[in-house]
Structure 1
C-alpha cells in the first residue's frame, strides 16, 4: 500500500488516480467531435450518429448505478482491474466496428465500464487525513474534469489527422498502461458492506426516496449537465456548415475554451465565505441560462460560441461542485451510494440533453438546439427556486 510517512495515502497515488481518472472518463467524450466523421463514413444521418454520444452517457449512468455501489461490497483494486479489461475490450470493438449498431453497443459498453473515477474519489476520501481530505478529493476531481474537457480537443485532432477509429485504438492502448499502473501502485481496500447485492441496491433506492436534498441536487445537476451536453454534441454539426466550414480539430479545440470556465469553477467553494450555498447555486444556474443568449444571438461568430462555451462550463461545473457540497452534508455513512444517486441522475440528464438536441438539430438546426439548452437550464433554475430551503438566500 502506498502510504506517506504520517500513515495517509501518498501524493503519488493521489496524482496517479487523478491522471487515470482523466484518461478513463475521456473514453466517453472522444466521440463528440468525431460524430460528423462517423456519419460520413457510415453514410448515416447526423441524428443517427448523435445517438452514439447518447448511448455512451446512458451507459455511464448505468455503470454508476450497477458498478459503483460494488465499491462498498468488493475489494476495490480487483474491481478496478477487472473493469479496465472490459473498458479495453469495448474500445477495441468501437475501433473496429463496421456497422452503426456495432458502434451503438460499443458506446454503451464504453460508458458502462468507464466509471473508475467514481471509485477513486471515495478511496481518496477514505485514506486521507481530515486535513488533506478536501485537497486530495479536489486533485482527483481536477483530473476527471481535465479528462472531460481535453478529450474533445484531442479527439478532434486525432480524428482529423488519422481518422476517428485511430482515437479509440489509442484509447485502448492507454487502458493497458493504466491497468499496469493500477496493479503496481493502487492500495487495496477491504469491503465495508456485509449484505448481498440486492440489499446494497435497495439502500441506493432508499436514499433516493427519502433524501429530499439529494433529489433536488440530482435534478439540478441533471438539467444543467443536459444543457451543456446539448451544446457540445451538436457543435460539430453547426460548425461544419457556413460561415465556419470547420473540421473536427477546430470543434475539439472548444474543449480548451470550456476548460477556462470549468477550472475557474474549481474555486467556487471559496465564495461560501461571502454567500450562502443556495445563492451560489442560483447564480451558477443563471450563468448556464445566460450562456445560451450568447450561443443563440452570436452563434454565427467564433467569439459568440467561445463565450457560450466558457459560460456554460463555468455555470455547470460551479453548480456541480455546490450540489455535491449540498448532499455530502447529509449525515450518512453511505457516501458512495449518495454519490451514485447523484451521478446516475447527472448522466441521465446528459443523455437527455444530447438526445433532445440531436432531434432539435434535425428539425430546427441551431435555433432548436439553443431552445433545448435554454429550457433545460430554466428547469434547473425553476426547481431550485421552488424546492430549495424556504430562505434560499439566507441559509
Structure 2
C-alpha cells in the first residue's frame, strides 16, 4: 500500500481536497489568505501614486513623465491579463501563482534600485505584467466556492483587492516618510517573498481543465468577447468605471501636494483610507448579486459614479467635499466592478480564467487610458479639467448602460457589438497617441 501511494501522481492526491472545497465552499482561513494575497499582489501597481511628485524630483523627471509610472504599470498589467492569465485554465494554479509572486518580488527590487526614469518605467511595467496573479486568484476562489456562495466569496476576496489598491497608498506614504520612496519597494519585495512561501504551503493544488494549447487559449479569449454579449457589455462598463478611478488617483497627488494644500507624501497616502470605503461596496454588491439584484447595483453605481465628480470638483477648495467625492467614487466603482464579475463568472465555469482575462484586459486598458489622459488634462487644464474628463467618462458609462438595458432588436445587438469594439479600439489608439506625445 505504501508503494502504490508513493507512485500516485501529486495532483490526484490534491483532487479530493479540491472537490471538498468546491462542495462545501472554502474555509474562512482559505478565503482570508486569498483575500490578503490578492491585496498584496495588486498593491504593487499602486505604491507609486502618492510618491509621483517625490519620484519626479529625485530622478529629474517632469510631472507628466512621472505620471507614466501609473500608465506603464497598467499597460503591463493588461499585457499580463492577455498572455499570462489564460495559463490559469491550463497549468497547475498553485505552482503558477507562486512562480509569479516570486518574480514580482524581483521586479520590485528592480524598481527600488532604478537610477533613472527609464529603468523606473521598465520596473513598473514588469511589476504590472507579473502582478496579474491577483486575477488568477479571484477565479480560483470562484472555482473553490459552491454556486450559492460564489458572490459572497468573490466579494470577500475582492475586498482584499480593494484594500490592496487603496491602502497601498497609505503604506507607501508612511514608508516613504520614514526611509524615502525606495524603501517602499524594498519592503514590498520582501512581502512578496513571504507571501510566496505561505501560498505554496497553504493553497490546494488545482489544475485547469482546458484541453487546448496555449496559443489556442489566447485565441479563444478574444473569441469570448465576440460570442458572449454579457461579457462584452460588462467589459465596456468595467473599462469606463476603472478609467474614472484612474483619472482620480493619478491626479490627486498633484492636487494635494500643490499650492492649495501642500501635503507631504505621508499625508497624501492617508487619503487612501477614505477610499477603503469601496471595500464595503465589494461585500454588499457580492451579496446582492447572489440575490439576483445586479440591475439595481449597476444603476446605482453608474449614477453615483457620475455624481461623485461634482463633489470632487467642489472639493478643490473643500477637504470635506473632496473626501466625500473620493468615498462616493470608490463605492460606485467597486459596486459596478463586483456586479460585473458576478455576472461573467456565471457564463462558462470551464473558462473562468479566459473570461477573467478578456474582462480584466478591457478593465485595465480603461485604467491605462484614464491615467494617461489625466496626466495630459491636468497639465493643460488643472483639477477642473480632470473633473470634466471624469464626468465625461462616467456619463458615457451611464449612456451605454441605458442603451443596453433598452429592448434592442437582434439587428441592433449586432450594431452594439460593432460599436463596443470600435469604442475599445479607439480608446487604445488614444492611449498610444497620448504616450507618444508625452515621450516626444
Q: Does 1:222 align with 2:239?
A: yes
1:347 aligns with 2:364: yes
Structure 1 runs not aligned, ≥5 long: none
Q: State the Cα distance separating 1:336 from its structure 2 match.
A: 1.9
Q: Does 1:210 align with 2:266?
A: no
Secondary structure of the residue aligned to 1:84 is helix
Give, in angstroms, the shift of residue 350 of structure 1: 0.6
Following superposition, the deviation at residue 331 of structure 1 comes to: 5.0
Change (3 A) 1:196 1:121: same
Distance in 2 (alpha carbons) for counterparts of 1:123 and 1:270: 19
Q: Cα gap change, 1:45/1:220 in structure 2, threshold over 3 Å: closer, same or farther?
A: same
Alignment-derived partner of residue 85 in structure 1: 102
State the secondary structure of the residue aligned to 1:333.
Answer: helix
**Closer/same/farther in 2, CA of residues 101 and 269 from structure 1, 3 Å limit:** same
- The equivalent position to 2:39 in structure 1, one of 13, 22, 26, is 22
Q: C-alpha displacement at 1:272, in angstroms?
A: 6.4
Q: Does 1:45 align with 2:62?
A: yes
The CA deviation at 1:273 is 9.4
Conserved 8 A contact 2:78-2:129: yes
Change (3 A) 1:204 1:257: same
* Corresponding residue number in structure 1 for 2:86: 69
Partner of 1:124: 141
Structure 1 residues 132 and 374: alpha-carbon distance in aligned structure 2, compared to 1, 3 A threshold = closer
Change (3 A) 1:98 1:331: closer
Q: State which of 115, 123, 127 in structure 2 corresponds to 1:110.
A: 127
**Alpha-carbon distance in 1 for matches of 2:191, 2:91:** 25
Give the superposition deviation at 1:180. Answer: 0.9
User: Which residue does the alignment assign to 1:251?
Assistant: 268
* Residue of structure 2 in register with 1:180 after alignment: 197
1:153 pairs, out of 170, 179, 183, with 170
Matched, 1:141 2:158: yes
Task: Give the SS at the match of 1:245.
Answer: coil
| Closer/same/farther in 2, CA of residues 7 and 320 from structure 1, 3 Å limit | closer
Instruction: Tell me, yes or no, if structure 1 residue 377 matches structure 2 residue 375.
Output: no
* Residues in 1 aligned to 2:286 and 2:131: alpha-carbon distance in whole angstroms: 27
The equivalent of 2:334 in structure 1 is 317
The alpha-carbon deviation at position 131 of structure 1 amounts to 4.8
* Contact in 1 for aligned 2:34/2:157 (Cα 8 Å): yes
Gaps of 5+ in 2: 1-13, 409-440
Task: Go from structure 1 to structure 2 and tell me whether the alpha carbon gap of 1:142 and 1:161 turns closer, same or farther (over 3 Å shift).
Answer: same
Aligned counterpart, 2:207 = 190
**Cα gap change, 1:92 to 1:199, in 2 (>3 Å):** same
2:311 aligned residue: 294
Count residues in correspondence: 391
Indicate how the Cα distance of structure 1 residues 339 and 225 shifts in structure 2: closer, same or farther if over 3 A, else same. same
- The answer to which of 3-12 and 173-182 deviates more is 3-12
User: Given the two structures, how large is their TM-score scaled by the length of structure 1?
Assistant: 0.93
State whether residues 265 and 315 of structure 1, in contact with CA within 8 Å, keep that contact through their aligned partners in structure 2: no
> Contact between 2:158 and 2:282, CA under 8 Å: does it hold in 1?
no
Root mean square deviation, CA, Å = 2.1
Q: Relative to 1, partners in 2 of residues 1:275 and 1:130: Cα closer, same or farther, differing over 3 Å? A: closer
Inter-partner Cα distance in structure 1 for 2:290 and 2:192? 41
**C-alpha contact 2:35 2:157 (8 A) present in aligned 1:** yes
Match of 2:255 in 1: 238
C-alpha contact 1:33 1:236 (8 A) present in aligned 2:
yes
Match of 2:74 among 47, 50, 57: 57
Distance 1:314 1:305 in 2: 14
- 1:201 equivalent in alignment to 2:238: no
**Larger radius of gyration between Structure 1 and Structure 2:** 2
**Does structure 2 retain, via aligned residues, the 8 Å contact 1:29–1:151?**
yes
- Please give the per-residue CA displacement for 1:182-241, whole angstroms capped at 9, x wherever unaligned: 121111112311221111111101101122221111111111111111111111111111
The separation in 2 between residues aligned to 1:99 and 1:239, in whole angstroms, is: 25
State the SS of the aligned residue for 2:316: coil
Structure 1 segment 241-280 matched on structure 2, within 5 A: 241-270=258-287, 277-280=294-297
Corresponding residue of 1:328:
345
